[in-house]
Structures are given as C-alpha cells and as structure tokens.
Amino acid sequence: MVGGAVAKWALETYIPTAPESRVFSPEDPEIDSGVDFTDTLLLGPKCYLKVTGVLGQGAFGKVYRAKEVAGTKEYAVKTMAKQSSSYSAAFQKYEAAMHAHVSDHPNVATLHEVYEDETHLFFLMDLFNGGELYDRIYDDDEHKEVDEKEEATLKKIMLQLIDALDYCHENNIYHRDLKPANILLSRDGEEVNAHLADFGIATSAKESDSVCGTTPYMSPEIHYTKVYGGENNHAASDVWALGIVFTEMLLKNRPWDNAHGYDESFRAYTEDPKYLYRHSRISKEANTILTSMLDLNTVERVSLPKLSEMVQGTDALFRRRKSTLAPPSPVVPVVVLEEEKVSKTLSIREPVLVKEGAVKQKIHQWEKMFRQEAIV
C-alpha cells in the first residue's frame, strides 16, 4: 500500500456538499467487513508502521492500533471497506476532505494520512489514550459527588469542544453528528483533553434540507424538516447537538430520546425552561447555558463565541442535589449508516394533540417558521 498526503488525495476529490442525507439510530448494528489487518505494514509519516491489534469496532469498519517499526509512536488506523458504487465511494473520500480541512486544530483529531488498496481505505489518526467521552460519562456512578477538580475538568472539556466546533464553523465545516461517542479524550497524567472526531456526515453547506445525525442529538427543526420540508441551519443544529452532549456530561443522562412532540421528557422541557434544573443538581448558571444551547428558536440559539464567554464566566456548574431523571434507553456508542432512503430509516409519528398551553404554542411556532399549516 502506498501512503499519500491527505490534502492531495482527499481534497482533489472534494465535492461541495455531502452526497446524501444520513440518519443514524443508537440501536443500529455495526458493519464488519470480516477482514483482519493485524500485522499489516503501512507507510507512516516517518517510517513503516505495523498494525498490532484491534482497538474497537467502528460504524463502518474496525479501528486498529499501529506502531512505528523503527520508533515508539503509536497511531489509530480506521479501516473502511470501499463501496462498489461511485456515489458511495465519493462519500467516503468526502469524509477525508472534511476532516483534513480542520485537522490542524488541537482539539480536532488529526488525520495524518489516507491509504487505499483495491478493497479498503485506511485513515491514519492520532491514538488517544483516554477513550471516548461516552465512556467517561457513563462509566462513573451517576450519583457520585462532583468535586472541584472534576468540575474544572468538565468545564475545560466544554470550552475545548466549543473552540473546536467554532473553528470548524469558521472554516465552513459543519459536523452534523456531534455525540459523546464521536469525542475522543487524551490523558497526560491527570490532565484530560477532548478532540472532535468522525466527520463522516460533515458538510460545507451552511443550510440544506438533509435529515442527518443520530436521533437523540438531532435538533427539533431537523425532525420538522423531515415532516414539513424546508432547510436547516447546520451551525444552529450543531450547537443544539453540543447542548445535548453538555447535558449528558452534567446529568449523566440524555435529557430525552427525541426532540419531538411525542417524547414526554421533551414536552416537559418545552413547558418548563427550568425542567433540567428542577430534576438535577446543576446550578442556575449551568441551566442558563444549556437552555441557551437548546433554544427552540434557531435565531435565538446562542452563538459559539457567546457560549464560550458564558462557560468561562460560570462560577459553579453544580449544586448539592442528586439527579432524579429517569435513565435513557440503552445507547450503543457506535452507530451504522442506513443505506435505504431516509423515509425508511427515521420513523416520524404525527405530533400528539396536546392541551392549550406552552407545548401547543411551541409547535405552532415551529410550523409557522416552516410556513406550513398548523396542526389543530
């Protein structure tokens, strides 16, 4: 296999927008090509690399550990079986192009090289020793007291992710699949740093009518675009998804499974802006941060520079109170792309009829934004 510069290989095949809509479900099974690349040699940045073993199973293939033959540095190698259709193959190269474009930010996982043979693509990336943010969130006891040191770490991770996402947006890259499983951690002693990864459905288009993402992290306007049409602002949808991630970090639970009217927890949130505060131990300042990210109005949703200021100015993220939110449905940290049409991958039920009040007003506001007929 022959190594090559990512910019030269990927960006030459760059296409202006993502090839198609992509919807993920947390319960989707994983794809395994059945090929084991252990002991394979790759041409690394400085010398040959030897693939030493499997790190984990990704959404579209395995992730391996590789070590320099004449050195000590280790890397992660993500493998993807090549798609037979030219359309799907372009989609795979598109991921490399998106990732390479923002790879120089310290809180974006660096994509060093891309290799290919007749059947597979190989993405050579940094190896992070801290695992996924998902594991950090859910491996700990939900009711464990958060001390000042841990709170400082959470705040640091939040600021790093805000900065990384803002850098992506400044470079016209919109992630569209932010979630704890796509955020990797590195450790240096007691120091923890966060890195954005997996740009598989990223796009350079600021707006589109695509329905993309992993369902629990998709913004309400994406769900309503599926039903009523219209276009989504990808920057605003990324901020919403990051708001769900921050909520998980602070509550050790997802706030709801679906930002849609038939989800009881989401309906409760639309009726009560202090819903997260009342059912958890977050501070009023933290609640303000989360609700500004999870604003139903995309125009009013907080900008990333303003969000950074809010987090930096927060004195405390928690108060002394244990969470009473019911745990979310089981989440598999890696998801699989559905190859069928979007209409078959995401089942949207008609919004439930609700009593006159905040929820119905919110639903009418959404419908008005998309210039559709109101639900009576």
Which residue numbers belong to the known binding site for ATP?
A: 78
Helix ranges, the chain (H): 6-11, 86-101, 133-139, 148-170, 220-228, 234-251, 264-271, 275-278, 284-293, 304-312, 342-345, 358-369
Beta carbons within 8 Å of 236's beta carbon, 6+ residues apart: 219, 221, 298, 301
15, 260, 293, 349, 351 from 263: Cα distances, Å: 37, 6, 19, 11, 9
Identify the three-state secondary structure at position 328: coil
* Structure tokens, 371: 């210039």
Helix ranges, 31-85 (H): none
64, 114, 125, 196 from 10: Cα distances, Å: 21, 8, 15, 19
65, 117, 125, 127, 210 from 47: Cα distances, Å: 16, 19, 15, 17, 42
Contact 4, 112 (CB under 8 A): no
CA distance 170 to 241: 18
> 């199973």: which residue's tokens?
57
- Strand 74-81 relative to strand 120-126: parallel, antiparallel, unpaired? antiparallel
Smallest CA-to-CA distance from 120 within 180, 61, 198 is with 61
CA distance 182 to 196: 6
Contact 22, 199 (CB under 8 A): no
Contact 118, 38 (CB under 8 A): no
List binding-site positions: 78
b/e burial code for range 151-185 (CB count within 10 A of at least 16 → b)? bebbbebbbbbbbbbbbbbeeebbbbbbbbbbbbb
By residue count, the chain amounts to: 376
